[in-house]
Amino acid sequence: MNHIMDSNKFNTKENVLERCVSDTEMSVIIHALIKTRGNQSAAAALLGTTKRVLASKVHKYGIDCEQYK
């Protein structure tokens, strides 16, 4: 973790936390899409959220659901 904090990309600990949360969220979404073979409705249900919220996160992270089908 120290190597992350030493990076010029991060100026504060909050940025490090935000990046870690984003990376984890993206990883969990991708795992759900793999498990549901790219089915966003099923992935949303698996994650306990709505398809609309999941679609927003998929767009935010630039995830291509088609590659998991």
6 assigned to some structural domain: no
58 assigned to some structural domain: yes
| Cβ neighbours of 44 (radius 10 Å) | 21
What does the pLDDT read at residue 8?
56
8 assigned to some structural domain: no
39 assigned to some structural domain: yes
pTM exceeds 0.75: yes
Alpha helix segments (H runs only) across the chain: 2-6, 13-35, 40-47, 51-61
Whether the pLDDT of residue 3 is over 70: the answer is: no
25 assigned to some structural domain: yes
| Rounded-to-integer distance, Cα 43 and Cα 8, Å | 35
The number of folded domains in the chain is: 1
Q: What is the CATH number of the domain that holds 32?
A: 1.10.10.60
pLDDT digits (tens, 9 = 90+) for 12-57: 766 888 999 999 999 999 999 999 999 999 999 999 999 999 999 9
61 assigned to some structural domain: yes
What does the pLDDT read at residue 12?
72
Cα 4 to chain centroid, rounded: 19
In terms of residue numbers, what domain contains 64? Answer: 14-68
